[in-house]
A and B are shown apart, each in its own frame.
Chain A
Amino acid sequence: MTDVSLAQQRSVGFFGALAPGGARILFIFAAIGVCLIFAFPVFWLLLTSLRPASEVFNVQSGSTITIENFFEVLEQPVVLKALFNSFLIATLATILSLGVTATSGYMLSRFRGAIPNTWFSLIYVFRCVPYVSWVLPLYFVTINLGIFDTYWGLLLPHVAVHICFFSWIMKGFFDGIDPSMEYAAMIDGCSRWGAFIRVALPAALPGITALALLCWLYTWNEFLFALILTAHEVPILTVVMAQFVHEMGMEWHLMSATAIIALAPALLITIFGQKYVVQGLRI
């Protein structure tokens, strides 16, 4: 029954539902306009990356198109290393954060008592701290622990921040899952832990997938932590990109090429992961 009504709703179309009749055209144009506004900087970036160094300030009028910038960038070992590091950090941070927050969110959703309550309050307090004010203390902490400018020195702060934010989101996912499914599993031969792994976790998978994609993108794009918590040992792509702006001038063409390279995986994930993100975050 719900299926039928949904189908009817859908057949009206998004714009039709929003503004029936002639106003629909207006909305379509408005939507296209908004998309163009957002797409324009990316388009300009792409254009810049394809121009020789001498022509970056008249990108629109010149006629020389070159992919030389990309070769030049990719010949720099630091860029290659940064690509690898960014990928590694984003991937590891995603795996670690989600591993921890899946269990922590589940605990917050299903259990009451001293431990979950304390954990909940801790996360709540940390969530209220502005993101920027984390950086400086973390800098000193990593220095003191001797992990400054190492993988761990960037990975652990990322994971720590993610845990505070994602535990809540995960709790929400599990709140949306009927606990009697787990009770049924426990009666069907699972332990408490088994019921979580084999029934609750798969049921939350669409949400977790969406969260994983967003987490990866977020870490991949993150700049502030990477800037403060790393130096030469662990170059990170976003930081390396910014370093094309230096005392000797600004290498806009190289920066743009690097940016386009950085954009590619993010774009791929966005395009192919969109389905999961929409599915997972729809409650």
Chain B
Amino acid sequence: MTGVVLKNVQKKYGNVTAVLDFNLEIKDREFVVFVGPSGCGKSTTLRMIAGLEEITGGTISIAGRVVNDLQPKDRDIAMVFQNYALYQHMSVRDNLAFGLRNRRVPTATIDEAIARAARILSIEPLLDRRPRQLSGGQQQRVALGRCIVRNPKVFLFDEPLSNLDAQLRAQMRLEIKELRHRVPTTSIFVTHDQVEAMTLGDRIVVMKDGVMQQVGTPLELYRTPANRFVASFIGSPAMNFVDMAVASEGDNFKLSGEGLTFKLPNQRFPKLGNSVGKHVRVGVRPQHLRLGAPSGDGQVGVTGKLMVTEQLGDEQILVVRVGGQDIRVADVDPELDFSTGAEIETFAAIENLHLFEQSGSEASLLRVA
């Protein structure tokens, strides 16, 4: 059985398109994360699934039933909001009971469901308090409880952790992850934070300007980003990019940019043939740059002047100026001492290079398709 299916879903506000041609099949019990910068249409998509927003085009089905014309209350979903959205004039217990009472569930069953949810989330001592008397983390736990008691077909989360401070956010992230095992339910989680997306999602949907950029497991997105946007959005520190001209030279492509030249073997990068005479963007993650000189054909060298070092304790990050551009090198031994202005020699394995078109959708040139 399928969880949620979106087919050609579209949303327009007047003549502004908030979501364009969204297609996604979410499996039963799958945990999918929508991630993207603010304003990219994540919430709008989620709210269309919830029924809080009219669907301009396409169809949405939940558990095999098209829900386009169903009221939110008839869709059998539950939602957690960024600002908790607890009923301020009710006790925590009544907050949890509200949805069940509306559905005329017998009192004994309600009490049981509340007791179970309270136990799972450790909010038993809070049941008789008002939402105002709770901390942000506690309120968000109650909001989660309100979802659990209902036992719905789908959980929807709209940036539920954004209002919490960093430490609490990390803790709640773990709790949500744990919750998945205790209450396995199809879930859609919206966030702008790629770390949240990577740690929580079975699959991640990356969005930008209302358009889905890529769908995949966290590892797929990290290893084979479909375009430059996904490549720069996923991973921290962000991927380094260098603009390079492509020329053909025997069995190799010769790439040359400001202060940087290297060769890539033809047969490994077949799609690069179309770019001869043009420019491409070469990307490499800071973690994939190693200190030292390249050895052999499988590696390319990047050399530049050290501008800044960022000491993080367990690693340090070097900012190296290559040509006119700053490039970050991560995972450097924190014990090493560098003097600013020194020449830093680094290398990367060619399988860790990402190549993107320089214009248009900046699609990846590595996917053979």
Interface contact A185-B98, CB-CB below 8 Å: yes
Count of A-B contacts judged by CB separation below 8 Å = 61
Interface contact A181-B73, CB-CB below 8 Å: no
Which residue of B51, B77, B88 is within 8 Å of A181 (Cβ)? B88
| Contact A188 B98, CB 8 Å, known A180-B83, A183-B79 | yes
Which residue of B72, B82, B86, B89 is within 8 Å of A187 (Cβ)? B72
Which residue of B51, B72, B77, B85 is within 8 Å of A180 (Cβ)? B85
Which residue of A180, A186, A199, A203 is within 8 Å of B73 (Cβ)? A186
Interface contact B102-A184, CB-CB below 8 Å: no
Interface contact B79-A184, CB-CB below 8 Å: yes
**Is B8 interfacial (CB 8 A cutoff)?**
no
A208-230 near B? 1/0 per residue, CB < 8 Å: 00000000000000000000000
Residue of A nearest to B99 (CB): A188
B32-52 near A? 1/0 per residue, CB < 8 Å: 000000000000000000111
Give Cα A202 to B86, complex, Å.
13
CB distance from B55 to the nearest CB of A (A): 16
Point out the residues of chain B lying under 8 angstroms from A190, CB to CB.
73, 102
| Contact A189 B99, CB 8 Å, known A180-B81, A183-B81, A184-B79 | yes
Point out the residues of chain A lying under 8 angstroms from B50, CB to CB.
183, 187
Give Cα A199 to B102, complex, Å.
13
Interface size class of A (residues with CB under 8 A): 10 to 19
Residue of B nearest to A199 (CB): B87
Point out the residues of chain A lying under 8 angstroms from B89, CB to CB.
202-203, 205
Give Cα A190 to B71, complex, Å.
9
Point out the residues of chain B lying under 8 angstroms from A274, CB to CB.
none
Interface contact A191-B83, CB-CB below 8 Å: no
Point out the residues of chain A lying under 8 angstroms from B86, CB to CB.
181, 184
A159-184 near B? 1/0 per residue, CB < 8 Å: 00000000000000000001011011
A248-264 near B? 1/0 per residue, CB < 8 Å: 00000000000000000
Point out the residues of chain B lying under 8 angstroms from A186, CB to CB.
51-52, 71-73
Point out the residues of chain A lying under 8 angstroms from B29, CB to CB.
none
Give Cα A257 to B77, complex, Å.
65
Interface contact B81-A189, CB-CB below 8 Å: no
Interface contact A185-B79, CB-CB below 8 Å: no
CB distance from B92 to the nearest CB of A (A): 14
User: Which of A185, A187, A189, A205 has the most C-beta atoms of chain B within 10 angstroms of its own C-beta?
Assistant: A187
**Is B221 interfacial (CB 8 A cutoff)?**
no
Could you tell me which B residues sit within 8 Å of A by CB distance? 50-52, 71-73, 75, 77-79, 81-83, 85-89, 98-99, 102-103, 146, 150
- Extra A-B contacts (15), CB below 8 Å, given A180-B85, A187-B72, A187-B73: A181-B87, A181-B88, A183-B79, A183-B81, A183-B85, A186-B52, A186-B72, A186-B73, A187-B51, A187-B52, A189-B99, A190-B102, A199-B87, A202-B87, A202-B89
Could you tell me which A residues sit within 8 Å of B by CB distance? 178, 180-181, 183-191, 199, 202-203, 205
